[in-house]
């Protein structure tokens, strides 16, 4: 037996609509049995029951019961005069509805859906939906808890709260209890007959969950699925990884940075695992370019052609024979050190030449340079490779590929990342490659030999000629030798410093872009203007070139060589291979001219004597390996006048043989 006692569940009695009190009261409460009574029920018509208001508990008087066709006034229960009626009509109708619901014996409950979101390390949200299925709840008993809430006890023992206002939100149910909301609020409800209410209860189109028995389970399952989605997107990891990550944190870190580090760590680890597994990587093509702008002297003139050459080779797929992770290499710890068999990898590429952005020609390489057997792979996510690391990579001169994952965005999965690393070139870049410097030199040389550059050089030469001729040739020979000495001495000092530079940046050698080199080049041009060409020849100007060696002998100290005495340089010359003998006559002439022998020890003197005798014998025998081209003789006579007697006679020169 159901008691229709109304307990006050909370202190929020529902406000009735403005016209609710105008609505006739059709439902009452049997004071004896506690059952709801409709105005046209037999018990009411036949005066067999005492009716009270279910809301305010006052006695009610039936007016025109059993006359359903009467209007104005229609049949209703009347409150005692002066009673406050408030929401009595609605409450009474709800009471009836609840009663009829129980009579119906079931309530069709919709499915309960819930969305849960996990936020990945990248800040991306991963939303999943979980649901408990729709079901029909068999009603064991029903009671009204207050004016707006009924409590149903289902056959299986579960209780279900039914909010009768239809106004509760989807997440507004009491924690730990199931609650649905259905709209039984409109004043019309009060006017409905029992049949109409029954019909309305059978299908409840506006029924909604406020809370569900399984909410906690659903939330836990949703959280788990959302976390898995983030995990699959390489944006979240498990508790073990998190503990490991935390154990490595040195200081307390702000959360945003920690998230960034987590994501970076995760992606690094994944890429490394992919390479270790696949042992294959697609790499982008190599590309090197060089430009020549018109000399400043010609700015504003009619002819200012700009030259550009680009060499590039196609992308490659590298098969790796070994993959090592995070092994120290010199002063860097690359993410991956990959080893490969470079022997069958072609570096044949194409060189394009452009004049003023007009395509001029395309030349294909006729041979392949050797591909390095070691490739470093660096994975970057938020920060690229910094300048210091780049310098260290360049010093190691090892091919280094960067995989930049920063442009991938949030959504990612293992499969896509694996495809990217193994098969795609997107986001990849050669940070350094040993071929770069070789190709750079070739492009520079090709640009120097290009008609446009040569024309500029010739015009520049003509422009400068009066200035160069204004000084006597002897001034230029002195300047030239001083400039060469300064250049070599500086590089010897830099090489020494490089051996002791510790952790600081390695000092850079002077090269063809240095001021010191420019001094040499100007003196060489001036000598050329004076009829002494060839002073800019690399053979003369190398660290161990002809000029450095002759200066060493002349001054009895190392020039270009990090040694103390002229003999030590001579000793290096004497030990050089048999393919390098053709210039030896010049060194012998220099030793004599500058009296280097006066500084020799007895042992040095006898060693030199033996070497010199072989030289004389070979020259006398006409052995071409010991005979020099006369190319530089005139220039050298001017640079080293004391040698002029020996050189000028043509001794040891090929010219003598003609």
Q: Quick one: 57 or 67, whose CB is closer to Zn ion?
A: 57
Residue 88 in contact with Zn ion, rule: CB under 5 A:
yes
Q: How far is the CB of 167 from Zn ion (least distance, A)?
A: 22
Whether 584 and 626 have beta carbons less than 8 Å apart is answered as yes
Among 6, 23, 28, 53, binds Zn ion (CB under 5 A): 53
- Torsion angle, alpha carbons of 131, 132, 135, 140, to 10: -140
- 53 or 492: whose CB is closer to Zn ion? 53
CB of 63 to Zn ion, least distance (A): 15
* Nearest CB to Zn ion, comparing residues 31 and 56: 56
Only segment of 46-54, 478-486, 585-593, 640-648 that touches Zn ion (CB under 5 A): 46-54
Query: Minimum distance from CB of 88 to Zn ion (Å)?
Result: 3
Nearest CA-CA partner of 599 in 637, 556, 628: 556
CB of residue 87 vs Zn ion: minimum separation in angstroms? 9
Please report how close the Cβ of residue 53 comes to Zn ion at its closest, in angstroms.
3
Contact 148, 14 (CB under 8 A): yes
Minimum CB–partner distance for residue 13 and Zn ion (Å): 13
Shortest distance (Å) from residue 112 CB to Zn ion: 36
d(C-alpha 26, C-alpha 487), whole Å? 114
Other Cβ atoms within 10 Å of 11 Cβ, number? 6
| C-alpha to C-alpha distance for 33 and 343, rounded to whole angstroms | 101
Evaluate whether 377 touches 336 at the Cβ level (below 8 Å): yes
Q: Determine the interface stretch with Zn ion among 2-10, 45-53, 124-132, 151-159 (rule: CB under 5 A).
A: 45-53
Q: How far apart are CA 399 and CA 429, in angstroms?
A: 11
Give the total of residues touching Zn ion (CB under 5 A): 4
Q: Position of tokens 């105005």?
A: 39
Give strand pairing partners of 332: 329
Tokens of 543: 């660290």
Q: Which is nearer to Zn ion, 29 or 99 (CB)?
A: 29
Which residue's beta carbon is nearest to the bound Zn ion? 53
User: Is residue 31 at the binding interface for Zn ion, with CB under 5 A as the rule?
Assistant: no
| Residues numbered 54-73 forming contacts with Zn ion, rule: CB under 5 A | 55-56
- What lies within 8 Å, CB to CB, of 14 at 6+ separation is 87, 90, 147, 148, 165, 185
Beta strands in 394-532 (DSSP E): 399-404, 428-432
CB 585 within 8 A of CB 626: yes
Q: Which is nearer to Zn ion, 88 or 635 (CB)?
A: 88
Let me know if 569 is exposed, middle or buried by CB neighbors in 10 A (0-12, 13-18, 19+): buried
Residue closer to Zn ion by CB (options 27, 126) is 27
Q: Which is nearer to Zn ion, 24 or 125 (CB)?
A: 24
What is the dihedral sign for C-alpha 466, 471, 473, 478? negative
SS3 11: coil
Q: Taking the complex as a whole, how short is the minimal distance between the CB of residue 83 and Zn ion, in angstroms? A: 6
36/284 with CB nearer Zn ion? 36
Q: With binding defined as CB under 5 A, does residue 23 bind Zn ion?
A: no
Closer residue to Zn ion in complex, CB, 95/589: 95
- Type and span of the H or E element at 119: strand 112-119
Residue 126 · residue 117 · CB < 8 Å: yes
Closest distance between Zn ion and the C-beta of residue 161, in Å? Answer: 24
Residues within the interface to Zn ion (CB under 5 A): 53, 55-56, 88
């Amino acid at each position: 037996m159901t008691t229709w006692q109304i307990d006050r569940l909370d202190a929020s009695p529902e406000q009735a609509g403005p016209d609710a009190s105008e609505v006739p009261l059709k439902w009452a409460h049997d004071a004896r049995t506690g059952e709801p009574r409709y105005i046209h029920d037999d018990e009411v018509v036949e005066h067999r029951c005492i009716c009270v208001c279910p809301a305010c508990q006052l006695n009610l008087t039936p007016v025109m019961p059993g006359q359903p066709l009467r209007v104005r006034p229609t049949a209703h229960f009347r409150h005692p005069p002066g009673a406050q009626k408030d929401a009595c009509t609605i409450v009474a109708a709800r009471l009836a509805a609840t009663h009829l619901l129980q009579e119906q014996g079931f309530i069709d409950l919709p499915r309960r859906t819930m969305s849960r979101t996990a936020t990945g390390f990248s800040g991306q949200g991963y939303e999943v939906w979980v649901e408990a299925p729709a079901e029909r709840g068999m009603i064991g008993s029903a009671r009204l808890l207050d004016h707006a809430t009924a409590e149903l006890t289902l056959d299986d023992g579960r209780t279900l709260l039914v909010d009768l206002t239809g106004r509760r939100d989807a997440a507004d149910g009491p924690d730990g209890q199931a609650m649905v909301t259905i709209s039984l609020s409109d004043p019309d409800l009060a006017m409905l007959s029992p049949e109409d209410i029954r019909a309305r209860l059978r299908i409840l189109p506006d029924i909604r969950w406020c809370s569900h028995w399984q909410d906690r389970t659903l939330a836990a399952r949703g959280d788990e699925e959302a976390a898995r989605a983030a995990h699959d997107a390489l944006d979240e990891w498990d508790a073990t990884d998190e503990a490991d990550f935390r154990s490595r944190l040195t200081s307390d870190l702000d959360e945003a940075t920690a998230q960034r580090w987590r994501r970076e760590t995760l992606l690094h680890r994944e890429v490394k695992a992919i390479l270790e597994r696949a042992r294959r990587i697609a790499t982008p093509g190599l590309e090197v370019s060089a430009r020549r702008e018109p000399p400043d002297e010609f700015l504003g003139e009619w002819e200012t052609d700009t030259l550009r050459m680009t060499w590039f080779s196609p992308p490659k797929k590298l098969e790796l024979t070994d993959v090592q992770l995070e092994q120290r290499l010199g002063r860097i710890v690359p993410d991956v050190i990959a080893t490969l068999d470079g022997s069958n990898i072609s570096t044949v590429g194409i060189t394009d030449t452009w004049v003023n952005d007009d395509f001029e020609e395309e030349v294909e390489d006729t041979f392949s340079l050797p591909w390095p057997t070691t490739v470093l792979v660096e994975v970057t996510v938020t920060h690229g490779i910094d300048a210091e690391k780049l310098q260290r990579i360049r010093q190691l001169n090892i091919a280094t590929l960067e995989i930049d994952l920063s442009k991938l965005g949030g959504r990612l999965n293992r499969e896509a990342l694996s495809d990217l690393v193994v098969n795609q070139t997107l986001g990849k870049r050669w940070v350094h490659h040993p071929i770069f410097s070789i190709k750079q030199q070739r492009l520079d040389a090709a640009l120097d030999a290009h008609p446009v550059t040569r024309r500029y050089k010739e015009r520049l030469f003509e422009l400068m000629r009066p200035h160069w001729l204004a000084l006597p040739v002897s001034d230029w020979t002195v300047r030239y030798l001083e400039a060469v000495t300064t250049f070599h001495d500086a590089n010897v000092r830099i090489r020494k410093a490089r051996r002791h530079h510790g952790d600081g940046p390695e000092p850079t050698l002077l090269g063809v872009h240095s001021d010191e080199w420019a001094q040499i080049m100007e003196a060489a041009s001036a000598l050329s203007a004076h009829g002494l060409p060839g002073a800019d020849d690399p053979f003369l100007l190398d660290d161990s070139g002809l000029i450095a060696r002759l200066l060493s002998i002349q001054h009895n100290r190392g020039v270009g060589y990090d040694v103390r005495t002229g003999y030590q340089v001579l000793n290096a010359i004497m030990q050089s291979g048999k393919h390098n003998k053709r210039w030896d006559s010049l060194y012998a002439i220099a030793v004599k001219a500058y009296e280097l022998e006066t500084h020799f020890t007895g042992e040095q003197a006898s060693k030199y004597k033996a070497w010199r005798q072989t030289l004389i014998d070979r020259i006398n025998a006409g052995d071409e390996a010991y005979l020099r081209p006369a190319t530089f003789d005139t220039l050298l006579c001017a640079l080293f006048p004391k040698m002029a007697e020996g050189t000028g006679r043509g001794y040891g020169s090929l010219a003598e043989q003609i």
